Structure 1
């Protein structure tokens, strides 16, 4: 039952937002009593923590699976973006922004895990891109990897990018284009242009 509660809660939180979904909403949606939820989770904060952790772990595993395919590094960047956006329901409820605002301690813990995961993933992507002559060999890998993470976090700041003006999909696509054009070699730019042409 605990896993079912986490699964349903994560779906509702990602679609409707961590703030707006109540324990009553979850109980009603599942056709169970609120008491049943409280048997597994002391309060809503504990449930939010469990669901946020579960979503992160699912995404981390999916990213590992994509990286294990050893795709062209440029294609890999877009594949990971597609996977993450799908699992975060295109971020229509701005889950990370809501976590930061209403559950700052959970957000801080999650951000550290995300940083460690993304730093490792992006570093490997950059090194492979350099080895395949798709990225310039002069780029500072550790600097670019950290900048990439920081910019991804910044995209989710609604005070900078209000959602009524910038959709998350548009932000992600524009940022990836910006990121890749900044690090690609001439060969990489050809590959990127070909990839973009194929997506149209």
Structure 2
């Protein structure tokens, strides 16, 4: 039952936002009493914390599997983007932004974990890209990976990038292009152009 509560809550939070969804609505969507949910989670904050940890684990495992395939590093970033967008339902409700605003402690903890995972993944991506000569050989792996993480976090700020002006898919594609054009060799740019054609908005 706990797993069902996590999955249904995650779906509702992603579609409607962490703030909007009540415990009553989660119980109703599951067809159970609110008391059943409180058997597993003492309050909404505890449920939000469990849902974010669960989703983080699912996404991290998926990213690890994509990285293990050792695809072309440029393609790999687009595959990761597609995978994350699928699991976060295109982020229509700005979940990360809402988490930061209404559950700051949970957000900070999640951000630290995201940084740790993404840092390792991006550094490996950069090293492999240099090896394959699709990225420039003189790039600073640590610096680029930190800038990449910071940019990925910032584009989810709906004050900076209102969803009425940009879909999350559009912003993600713009950001990937921005990131890759700064580090690609001529060979890499060719691969990037190919990906952009396939990801036309």
TM-score normalised according to structure 2 size:
0.97
Q: C-alpha deviations, 1:92-148, integer Å up to 9, x for none?
A: 011000000000000000000000000000000000000000000011111000000
**Moved beyond 2 Å, runs of 4+:** 194-200
Secondary structure of the residue that 1:187 maps to in structure 2?
A: helix
Hey, what does 1:89 align to over in structure 2?
Answer: 89
**Residues in 1 aligned to 2:198 and 2:164: alpha-carbon distance in whole angstroms:** 29
**Residues in 1 aligned to 2:192 and 2:99: alpha-carbon distance in whole angstroms:** 34
How far 1:52 sits from its partner (Å)?
0.6
Hey, what does 1:75 align to over in structure 2?
Answer: 75
Hey, what does 1:142 align to over in structure 2?
Answer: 142
**Residues in 1 aligned to 2:38 and 2:52: alpha-carbon distance in whole angstroms:** 18
How far 1:199 sits from its partner (Å)?
4.8
**Residues in 2 aligned to 1:132 and 1:83: alpha-carbon distance in whole angstroms:** 24
Hey, what does 1:62 align to over in structure 2?
Answer: 62
**Residues in 2 aligned to 1:78 and 1:194: alpha-carbon distance in whole angstroms:** 11
How far 1:165 sits from its partner (Å)?
1.2
Instruction: Report the CA distance shift for 1:198/1:10 in structure 2 as closer, same or farther (over 3 A).
Output: closer
**Residues in 2 aligned to 1:25 and 1:198: alpha-carbon distance in whole angstroms:** 39
2:74 is the counterpart of 1:38: no
In the alignment, structure 1 segments of 5+ residues that lack a partner are none
**Residues in 1 aligned to 2:158 and 2:195: alpha-carbon distance in whole angstroms:** 30
Q: C-alpha deviations, 1:63-97, integer Å up to 9, x for none?
A: 00000110000000000000000000000011000
Aligned 8 A contact 2:135 2:188 in 1? yes
Hey, what does 1:47 align to over in structure 2?
Answer: 47
**Residues in 2 aligned to 1:175 and 1:36: alpha-carbon distance in whole angstroms:** 43
**Residues in 2 aligned to 1:2 and 1:169: alpha-carbon distance in whole angstroms:** 31
How far 1:191 sits from its partner (Å)?
1.7
How far 1:196 sits from its partner (Å)?
2.8
Instruction: Report the CA distance shift for 1:44/1:122 in structure 2 as closer, same or farther (over 3 A).
Output: same
Residues paired across the two proteins, number: 200
**Residues in 2 aligned to 1:11 and 1:30: alpha-carbon distance in whole angstroms:** 11
CA RMSD of aligned residues (A): 0.9
